[in-house]
């Protein structure tokens, strides 16, 4: 955060074309200004800080050397794209990041022509880039395609599928491996050790050999600057690296914070490379902001913070978070049952399994960003009588669907799926919303699918999952804190497929699946007050459904409303299917299924998203009134 005495350059740069007018020697100053701008913006909005700070020089260098947006620049995950947004016409909106109606926290095609590919889930950039490179080839355009991917994202299988394919196609694709030796947590696995070895200097070759190889490969025009840069970075890695074996020309490691290193290498690759090239760039996550550099997580994701001290705003919780309740309950159950093991795919803190790992280091596995592998790995453990808890966010479980179907469900293996971040997640927007898990799991024969209505229910469900060994079982719970209910000493083992009536009435039945139960109870107060006696039930299970409960609600009420924070095709659809086949719809019962709307809802506060979806107290009440042909009573549903 050094203050520059010179006149600000950033004010002269709205688009990369402006940046290309600057001299190379101006770029370090521009980098300082972009960093300051980004730190100030994120201090107000919260968001991903460390990753963006680490790629300021790299982002500037790419835009200065390549002709974006005609040349395609793809950021893997996209959480490091804030400097890119500042430099591509979005600086004036950078303080709206992740807010309702503001800029997305990730790259988004709809937002800018400088974002040729949207992301948020990791490890997609090489595949997408390869598609674009092949398209350019077929179209005979001279376009370059650059994919920037982190060392953490390189732990996912999809990245290797793409590398393998790119090598075979000999496509003109430039992959920049942004190696900061960090995922969200420290990276795990043999690949990260391999990259560290490459970067450690032991396998470096002299610059003369690099020059010779480069000349042979690129054919022409290897200037002294590049050999100097490479010498300075201690060079080109000896032949036979994994990337070379896969058909890539491999350059690096080079210093990703030095324009002297970056610019000549990028220019030479731009002008001369005809096949796939991988440039290994070493950067520091959180670079240039001391509190981030010093933090264990390099300020991967932050709340609003004080720029001077780096202290993040802390919201005092009223109740424990669902993630904590899950982790603590699992730890408790695991002390009583030594077959319980935990699995996370690069999200130890986010899932709470970091706490589990502290107590049971040998029974907890961080497999890297590898959800597919996580699920089949869990299946393997289950075949040997272990009780694996594959703790994934709803949105990331999507990636492992075939593994869930083929490796777990068809074989009836008792893998436990704690599904965190179920429902709306707020600032991360549609890529991270936990919308579809109930729909895609409840269709699978033999699966047990649960949702916790509150934190005490979550405790019951963890214990139920430990005890249930007859096949796969899942339980979903949202981001954030619980509602402050009394917590039992230990969870109960729930009867599989049995819901519960929480409040009895006679006219309206609200059947909730998950944490919308609290709003159903509030809605019931309003409905009772309006003379509509209301029953509220917590289904607990979307599969197997509680047929007796549904029959009872259907037969003894005028109207039945299902409520869930999930997509169509989930709980409500399962209930409708059952009622249709059971003849419960034949006698004039009014039914409504409240689900998330059929749109990709942009980021906003979760409460606003729930209200917009009509899944809050007011939405439930007005659904009942509309169904009964009554106007919404003033002062009741507001």
Ligand X SMILES: Cc1ncc(C[n+]2csc(CCOP(=O)(O)OP(=O)(O)O)c2C)c(N)n1
Q: Shortest Cβ contact with ligand X: which residue? A: 150
Inter-residue contact 507 to 558 (CB < 8 Å): yes
Residue of 180, 188, 329, 403 interacting with ligand X (CB under 6 A):
180
Is 285 among the residues that bind ligand X (CB under 6 A)?
yes
Is 148 among the residues that bind ligand X (CB under 6 A)?
no
- Catalytic residue list contains 293: no
CB of 349 to ligand X, least distance (A): 10
DSSP one-letter code for 495 = P
The structure tokens 């042979």 sit at: 216
- Catalytic residue list contains 363: no
Distance CA 126, CA 404 (A): 25
Inter-residue contact 290 to 271 (CB < 8 Å): no
CB of 140 to ligand X, least distance (A): 33
Is 98 among the residues that bind ligand X (CB under 6 A)?
no
CB of 371 to ligand X, least distance (A): 6
CB of 216 to ligand X, least distance (A): 32
Distance CA 477, CA 393 (A): 10
3-state secondary structure of 280: strand
Is 404 among the residues that bind ligand X (CB under 6 A)?
no
- Please report the sign of the dihedral spanned by the C-alpha atoms of residue 514, residue 518, residue 523, residue 524: positive
Residue of 29, 43, 45, 183 interacting with ligand X (CB under 6 A):
183
Residue of 43, 59, 64, 80 interacting with ligand X (CB under 6 A):
80
- Catalytic residue list contains 285: yes
The interface region with ligand X, picked from 168-176, 342-350, 420-428, 556-564 by CB under 6 A, is 342-350
Return the structure tokens found at 424. 């709306």
What angle, rounded to 10 degrees, do the helices at 207-218 and 224-232 form? 140
Is 534 among the residues that bind ligand X (CB under 6 A)?
no
Distance CA 286, CA 364 (A): 28
Distance CA 81, CA 54 (A): 11
How does DSSP assign 83-134, residue by residue? HHHHHTT-GGGGGGTTSTTS--SS--TTT-TT--S--SSSS-HHHHHHHHHH
DSSP one-letter code for 570 = S
Is 150 among the residues that bind ligand X (CB under 6 A)?
yes
Return the structure tokens found at 133. 């490179």
Inter-residue contact 94 to 69 (CB < 8 Å): no
CB of 217 to ligand X, least distance (A): 27
Residue 559: strand pairing partners: 508, 590
Chain length of the chain: 638
Inter-residue contact 199 to 282 (CB < 8 Å): yes
Distance CA 150, CA 162 (A): 15
Candidate list 91, 285, 355, 479, residue with the active-site label: 285
Residue of 72, 79, 280, 459 interacting with ligand X (CB under 6 A):
79
Distance CA 413, CA 380 (A): 9
Nearest to 503 by CA among 467, 458, 466, 453: 453
Q: Helical H runs in 420-570?
A: 437-442, 455-467, 517-529, 547-556
The interface region with ligand X, picked from 14-22, 76-84, 328-336, 489-497 by CB under 6 A, is 76-84
Is 152 among the residues that bind ligand X (CB under 6 A)?
yes
Nearest to 223 by CA among 240, 239, 234, 207: 207
Site string for ligand X, 427-456 (x = CB under 6 A): ------------------------------
The interface region with ligand X, picked from 144-152, 317-325, 444-452, 459-467 by CB under 6 A, is 144-152
The interface region with ligand X, picked from 145-153, 333-341, 482-490, 537-545 by CB under 6 A, is 145-153
Residue placing its CB nearer to ligand X in the complex, 48 or 416: 48
110-129 binders of ligand X (CB under 6 A)? 120-122
Candidate list 33, 37, 333, 371, residue with the active-site label: 371
The interface region with ligand X, picked from 10-18, 75-83, 491-499, 577-585 by CB under 6 A, is 75-83
Residue of 39, 60, 145, 182 interacting with ligand X (CB under 6 A):
182
Residue placing its CB nearer to ligand X in the complex, 420 or 564: 420
Return the structure tokens found at 151. 């060392």
Residue of 19, 77, 461, 462 interacting with ligand X (CB under 6 A):
77
Site string for ligand X, 570-609 (x = CB under 6 A): ----------------------------------------
Residue 393: strand pairing partners: 420
Residue placing its CB nearer to ligand X in the complex, 177 or 273: 177
CB of 156 to ligand X, least distance (A): 6
Catalytically active residues are 285, 371, 399
User: What are the residues binding ligand X (CB under 6 A)?
Assistant: 51, 77, 79-80, 120-122, 150-153, 180, 182-184, 285, 345-347, 369, 371, 396, 399
């Amino acid at each position: 955060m050094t203050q520059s005495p010179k006149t600000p350059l950033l004010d002269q740069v709205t688009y990369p074309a402006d940046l290309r007018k600057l001299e190379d020697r101006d770029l370090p100053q521009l980098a300082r200004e972009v960093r300051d701008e980004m730190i100030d913006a994120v201090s107000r909005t919260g968001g991903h800080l460390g990753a963006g700070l680490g790629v300021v020089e790299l982002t500037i260098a790419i835009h200065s050397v390549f002709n974006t947006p005609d040349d395609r620049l793809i950021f893997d995950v996209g959480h490091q794209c804030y400097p890119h947004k500042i430099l591509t016409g979005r600086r004036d909106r950078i303080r709206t990041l992740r807010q309702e109606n503001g800029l997305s926290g990730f790259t988004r095609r709809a937002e800018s022509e400088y974002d040729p590919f949207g992301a948020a889930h990791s490890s997609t950039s090489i595949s997408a880039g390869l598609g674009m490179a092949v398209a350019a080839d077929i179209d005979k355009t001279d376009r370059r395609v650059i994919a920037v991917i982190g060392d953490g994202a390189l732990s996912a299988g999809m990245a290797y599928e793409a590398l393998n394919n790119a090598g075979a196609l000999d496509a003109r694709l430039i992959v920049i491996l942004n190696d900061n030796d960090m995922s969200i947590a420290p990276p795990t696995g043999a690949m990260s050790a391999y990259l560290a070895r490459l970067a450690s200097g032991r396998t470096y070759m002299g610059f003369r050999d690099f020059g010779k190889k480069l000349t042979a490969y690129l054919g022409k025009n290897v200037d002294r600057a590049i050999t100097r840069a490479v010498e300075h970075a201690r060079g080109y890695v000896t032949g036979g690296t994994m990337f070379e074996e896969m058909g890539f020309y491999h350059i690096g490691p080079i210093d990703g914070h030095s324009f002297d290193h970056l610019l000549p290498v990028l220019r030479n690759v731009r002008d001369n490379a005809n096949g796939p090239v991988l440039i290994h760039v070493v950067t520091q996550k959180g670079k240039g902001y001391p509190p981030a550099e010093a933090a264990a997580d390099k300020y991967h994701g932050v709340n609003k913070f004080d720029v001077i001290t780096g202290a993040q705003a802390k919201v005092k919780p009223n109740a424990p978070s669902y993630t904590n309740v899950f982790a603590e309950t699992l730890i408790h159950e695991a002390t009583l049952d030594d077959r319980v093991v935990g699995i996370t795919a690069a999200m130890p803190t986010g899932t709470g399994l970091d706490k589990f790992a502290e107590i049971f280091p040998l029974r907890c596995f961080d497999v890297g960003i590898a959800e597919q592998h996580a699920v089949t790995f869990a299946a393997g453990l289950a075949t040997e009588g272990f009780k694996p808890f594959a703790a994934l966010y709803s949105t990331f479980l999507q990636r492992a669907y075939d593994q869930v179907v083929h490796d777990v469900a068809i074989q009836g293996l008792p893998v436990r799926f704690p599904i965190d971040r179920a429902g709306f997640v707020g600032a991360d927007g549609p890529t991270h919303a936990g919308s579809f898990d109930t729909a895609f799991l409840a269709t699978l024969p033999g699966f047990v699918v649960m949702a916790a209505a509150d934190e005490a229910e979550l405790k019951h469900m963890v214990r139920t999952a430990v005890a249930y060994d007859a096949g796969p079982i899942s339980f979903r719970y949202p981001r954030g804190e619980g509602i402050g209910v009394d917590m039992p000493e230990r969870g109960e083992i729930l009867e599989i497929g049995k819901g519960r009536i929480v409040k009895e009435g006679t006219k309206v039945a609200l059947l909730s699946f998950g944490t919308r139960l609290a709003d159903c109870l509030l809605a019931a107060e309003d409905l009772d007050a309006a003379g509509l006696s209301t029953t509220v039930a917590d289904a607990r299970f979307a599969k197997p459904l509680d047929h007796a409960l549904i029959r009872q609600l259907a037969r003894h009420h005028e109207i039945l409303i299902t409520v869930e924070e999930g997509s169509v095709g989930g709980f409500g659809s399962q209930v409708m299917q059952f009622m249709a086949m059971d003849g419960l719809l034949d006698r004039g019962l009014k039914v409504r299924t409240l689900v998330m709307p059929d749109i990709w809802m942009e980021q906003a506060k979760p409460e606003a998203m729930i209200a917009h979806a009509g899944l809050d107290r007011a939405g439930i009440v007005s659904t009942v009134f509309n169904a009964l042909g009554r106007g919404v009573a003033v002062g009741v549903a507001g």
